[in-house]
Amino acid sequence: MFKDAIGDQRLMPFRRDELPFGWYFRNGDNYLLSSPQGQALNNLSVNYKSDHKITIKTINGQQYINVPTAFAPDGRGFFERAVNGTTRQVGSWEDDAIRNITARFGNFITSDRDASGAFRVDAVASPAYGGNANGWHTVLSFDASRVAPIANENRAINIGGTPVIYLGV
């Protein structure tokens, strides 16, 4: 047992049911407070427990304590990111976001019905205005998937691992 490593959190290259002795899946599971796992969790510092939302709760008349979780409420895994310890603390999490993408077209008339990249021509009406046979009212749409990979989440290229905590028991 590595007594100094109790509370160490990391990603492991093992499946959750093949973890080495002393390592536990970080999924928020509850352990009896009197169990070896519960005692190891409860012996962590007050700040550690607060930062990682480790709490004691009563379930069916017995006290339990939870391991931290590496997952957002919707089940997506967190990307772990360094904090500076002043404006952002250990255990704090941020919602997902992307950099802002903007585009604007005013009321315009064009004689070219071509669009490229993330833009697509959706509709044209000819003529643009009475007496002008050379222009069209044009409707353009913006679709990032035309030029970049998209998904229902923002993510960098990645490889999966099992998020774990070391309790040594």
Q: Is 10 left (phi over 0), alpha (psi -120 to 50) or beta?
A: beta
What 3-state DSSP class applies to 23?
strand
Tens digit of each residue's pLDDT (9 = 90 or more) over 46-58: 999 999 999 999 9
Give the closest residue to 143 by CA, choosing from 163, 161, 116: 116
- Mean per-residue pLDDT, 18-37: 97
- The first and second tokens of residue 139, run together, are 């409707």
Is residue 121 over pLDDT 70? Answer: yes
Q: Is 128 left (phi over 0), alpha (psi -120 to 50) or beta?
A: alpha
Name the average pLDDT for the chain: 86
Residue 9 belongs to what H/E stretch? Answer: strand 9-12
Share above pLDDT 70 across residues of the chain, in percent, rounded to a whole number: 85
Render the burial of 129-160: b for 16+ CB within 10 Å, e for the rest: eeeeeebbebebeeeeeeeeeeeeeeeeeeee
What 3-state DSSP class applies to 12?
strand
Is residue 22 over pLDDT 60? Answer: yes
pLDDT confidence tier of residue 1, bands split at 50, 70 and 90: low
Question: In whole angstroms, what is the distance from residue 35 CA to residue 99 CA?
Answer: 46
Question: In whole angstroms, what is the distance from residue 47 CA to residue 50 CA?
Answer: 5
Q: CB–CB of 67/27 below 8 Å?
A: yes
- The first and second tokens of residue 101, run together, are 């993408």
The better pLDDT of the pair 148, 20 is held by 20
Q: What is the pLDDT of residue 29?
A: 97
Q: What is the pLDDT of residue 20?
A: 96
Is residue 99 over pLDDT 60? Answer: yes
Tens digit of each residue's pLDDT (9 = 90 or more) over 86-97: 888 888 888 878
